[in-house]
Structure 1
Amino acid sequence: MSSLLREIRHTPLLWLLIFVPAVLIAARIVPAAHTLLFVLAVVAIVPLAALLSHATEAISEKTGDAVGGLLNATLGNLTELIIAVTALHAGEYMLVKASIAGAIVTNSLFMLGASFLLGGLRYHVQEYNRAGGRMHSALLLMATIALLAPAAVSELDLARGEVMTQNFSLALAILLIVAYGLSLLFSLKTHKELFASEDRGQAEEAKWPINLAIGTLFVVTVLVALVSEIFVESVQHAAATLGMSPAFVGFIIVALVGAAAEMAVAFSAARKNRLDMSVSIALGSASQIALFVAPVLVLLSYVVGPKPMDLQFWPGAVTMVMIATVTATFVTNSGRSAWFIGALLLFIYAVFAMTLYMVPPGSHGSV
């Protein structure tokens, strides 16, 4: 417990944990104050995501590379997964799909771009291992093609189109999970030497005892679930008040909040000229979302949702994911970066954010 308290004292981001009891109390006292609850929930999720990240890294260090890699694949995006499952249960499929697409774009453009920019402002040119970037980019490209495929089924007659889309999405979900499992086997077992620099970079962070890490993981998971329920219940009313569509909230707000902890680590690594770690976090997290979180949500929708969810995204989301994936592939192919490359990635992300805010997708594309 002393290790946890010391971590909180020395990490300003974790001081925001005070907002966790604040939002839980506010939900009891003023349940109709949706905008207040929305803001408090967003702020409260950020330090909880940071604690999840610390606990996961600590357990990974103790269990070794193979089990630790699988654990990171499962829990690395736990915050987004919990929010999405809560939204699934509430039938907010537009929010779920927007958060999936937004997480992929945010990680591959915003997180990667900001890492390049922050590192480039300190170092003239930075170099990193291209193997990880190439693998994650290839996985993202394959997942994006899978997201494009259900659009073809949507052109069928209404009597059969919806059922075929759901069955097709279920088959794609299973295929993506298998592909992600093979990528873990490739990077953690058969060709792990290609990714050695990434493993060295991630091993320094976790210093907690294993019992503390497991206990923290359990408690924080429960708290994230409680806060996520408040977030989902308030998001519609708050978004209307603030002039934001559910697509914008999921694509931008949820994605940025869920990745806050990972961004802090990636940005810090870039400033220390350890860009291997930054690229691995950014593109690795994006590929986790595309090949693990998204298909798991499709499977879970059969259990917790009012009806099965498909992988048919609105055209703008698929276009943005495709552009982000191709851009990330191009910029990471050389194994070198400078600050201006990061700035260009951030400009592309800003264009997407402005487009979603000013021209939100129609309701016909929400399910």
Structure 2
Amino acid sequence: MQPLFREIRDTPLLWMLVFVPVVLVAEATVPESHTLLFVLAVVAIVPLAALLSHATEAVAAKTGDAVGGLLNATLGNLTELIIAITALHAGQYMLVKASIAGAIVTNAMFMLGACLLLGGVRYHVQEYNRAGARLSSGLLLMATVALLAPSAVADLDHLPPGGNIIHKLSIGISVLLILAYALGLLFSLRTHKELFEGAGHGDEKEAHWPIGLAIGTLLAVTVLVALVSEIFVESVQKAAESFGMSPAFVGFIIVSLVGAAAEFAVAFAAARKNRLDMSVSIALGSASQIALFVAPALVLLSYVVGPKPMDLQFWPGAVTMVMIATVTASFVTTSGRSAWFVGALLILIYAVFALTLYVVPPAGEG
């Protein structure tokens, strides 16, 4: 347990773990204080996501490159996945879809832009491995096209009523996306891994965690994230109303930013150390993972844990923002070189998206 306590002591972000018991006690004593529970849950999820990331890195460091890379790729967005599954079980499909679209846009625009800005302020020009950026951008573009299909055909006149065609299409696309995700892992971790050697590596001190402690921490934190996520989902609707936010805005912006807090910390620190390979890999890799794995997994899980099946039909604004973010990220990373101004532009585009969604929520959410 000493490595875990040392990690908590040396990482200020993990000091916020004190809010985990606070939110659990608050939920038991003042269950009607939805705004308070919402704020406490958001604050508690941030350090849990960071600790989950540390535990994942520690397990990955003990299992070798191939298995470790697979674990990192699969568990990298576990926080967002748990929140989405909880919302799925509660039938809040707008929140789920908003969190999917928001996670893609947040990672591809805000995280990437902030990394380029932070690194560019310290270094005049930065370079990174274009192979990794091209792979993630290509996968993300393929996934975005696939996610657009149900929304594109949903309003066709000749479709039979009831939505069964959209559900069938969503299932088929989900299977194809997971297949593309598996092929991407095979390509980057096995058959052509030499192309990605410049990509970022995990923090070395994580490798010193004993495997038993790492696995135990991973399991314990996953349970805690699930408990706090349930409180978050139960309080989000009424709390959002008190803040003047729609569920779509909460999912698109708040859930995405909170769930990726740990990845932000790692990516930003790497950019400041001129390790832009790692930053770009985290940002685009996480965005493509959401689109290729998390979104289709939630569609398939909805048949088991949801009150009704969920499809991949997003509202038009989400479709537009995801496509713009994907194309912009692909265009920006094609050169393998960057300066601070590029990052600033990406952040401003993300701010335009957030402002638009806050002022003009989707139809029926205002």
Q: Which category describes the TM-score, using the shorter chain as reference length?
A: over 0.9
Q: Which residue of 2 aligns with 1:80?
A: 80
Partner Cα separation in structure 1 for residue 166 and residue 337 of structure 2: 41
Gap runs ≥5 in structure 2 = none
CA contact 1:42–1:257 (8 Å) conserved in 2: yes
SS of residue matched to 1:198: coil
Is the deviation greater in 328-337 or in 150-159?
Answer: 150-159
Tell me the CA shift for residue 13 of structure 1: 0.2
Q: Which residue of 2 aligns with 1:93?
A: 93
Q: Which residue of 2 aligns with 1:47?
A: 47
Gap runs ≥5 in structure 1 = none
Q: Which residue of 2 aligns with 1:149?
A: 149
Tell me the CA shift for residue 286 of structure 1: 0.4
Partner Cα separation in structure 2 for residue 282 and residue 82 of structure 1: 20
Q: Which residue of 2 aligns with 1:274?
A: 275
Letter in 1 for 2:132: G
CA contact 1:154–1:161 (8 Å) conserved in 2: no
Q: Which residue of 2 aligns with 1:246?
A: 247
Q: Which residue of 1 aligns with 2:27?
A: 27
Tell me the CA shift for residue 212 of structure 1: 0.7
Letter in 1 for 2:275: R
Number of equivalences: 364
SS of residue matched to 1:294: helix
Show CA shifts across 1:3-57 (max 9, x none).
0000001100000000000000000000000000000000000000000100101
CA contact 1:169–1:298 (8 Å) conserved in 2: yes
Tell me the CA shift for residue 68 of structure 1: 1.1
- Mapped pair 1:15 → 2:49: no
Partner Cα separation in structure 2 for residue 174 and residue 276 of structure 1: 30
Tell me the CA shift for residue 205 of structure 1: 4.8
Partner Cα separation in structure 1 for residue 215 and residue 173 of structure 2: 33
Show CA shifts across 1:86-131 (max 9, x none).
0000000000000000000000000000000000110000000001
CA contact 1:106–1:252 (8 Å) conserved in 2: yes
Q: Which residue of 2 aligns with 1:111?
A: 111
Partner Cα separation in structure 1 for residue 53 and residue 296 of structure 2: 22
Tell me the CA shift for residue 363 of structure 1: 2.4
Q: Which residue of 1 aligns with 2:140?
A: 140
Tell me the CA shift for residue 72 of structure 1: 1.5
Q: Which residue of 2 aligns with 1:324?
A: 325
Partner Cα separation in structure 1 for residue 271 and residue 214 of structure 2: 26
Q: Which residue of 2 aligns with 1:180?
A: 181
Letter in 1 for 2:337: R
- Mapped pair 1:305 → 2:329: no
Letter in 2 for 1:251: F
Q: Which residue of 2 aligns with 1:358?
A: 359
Q: Which residue of 2 aligns with 1:165?
A: 166
Distance 1:284 1:205, change over 3 A: farther
Partner Cα separation in structure 2 for residue 159 and residue 191 of structure 1: 45
Percent of aligned positions with the same letter in both sequences?
78
Partner Cα separation in structure 2 for residue 18 and residue 50 of structure 1: 14
Tell me the CA shift for residue 208 of structure 1: 1.2
Letter in 2 for 1:165: I
Q: Which residue of 2 aligns with 1:192?
A: 193
Partner Cα separation in structure 1 for residue 122 and residue 282 of structure 2: 20
Partner Cα separation in structure 2 for residue 28 and residue 264 of structure 1: 32
Letter in 2 for 1:245: S
Q: CA RMSD in A?
A: 1.2
Partner Cα separation in structure 2 for residue 51 and residue 142 of structure 1: 32
SS of residue matched to 2:198: helix
Q: Which residue of 2 aligns with 1:338?
A: 339
Is the deviation greater in 234-243 or in 153-162?
Answer: 153-162
Is the deviation greater in 335-344 or in 203-212?
Answer: 203-212
Letter in 2 for 1:318: V
Letter in 1 for 2:168: N
Show CA shifts across 1:198-247 (max 9, x none).
25x32525231111100000000000000000000000000001000000
Partner Cα separation in structure 2 for residue 68 and residue 163 of structure 1: 39
SS of residue matched to 1:310: coil
Letter in 2 for 1:306: P
Partner Cα separation in structure 1 for residue 152 and residue 110 of structure 2: 30
Letter in 1 for 2:341: F
Letter in 2 for 1:112: L
SS of residue matched to 1:360: coil
Partner Cα separation in structure 2 for residue 159 and residue 287 of structure 1: 32
Tell me the CA shift for residue 153 of structure 1: 3.0
Q: Which residue of 2 aligns with 1:4?
A: 4
Partner Cα separation in structure 2 for residue 195 and residue 204 of structure 1: 18
Letter in 2 for 1:41: A
SS of residue matched to 2:204: coil
Tell me the CA shift for residue 73 of structure 1: 2.1
Partner Cα separation in structure 2 for residue 10 and residue 137 of structure 1: 35
Q: TM-score, normalised by structure 2?
A: 0.98
Partner Cα separation in structure 2 for residue 350 and residue 161 of structure 1: 37
Letter in 2 for 1:348: I
CA contact 1:57–1:205 (8 Å) conserved in 2: no
Partner Cα separation in structure 2 for residue 154 and residue 326 of structure 1: 23
Q: Which residue of 2 aligns with 1:225?
A: 226
Partner Cα separation in structure 2 for residue 222 and residue 182 of structure 1: 30
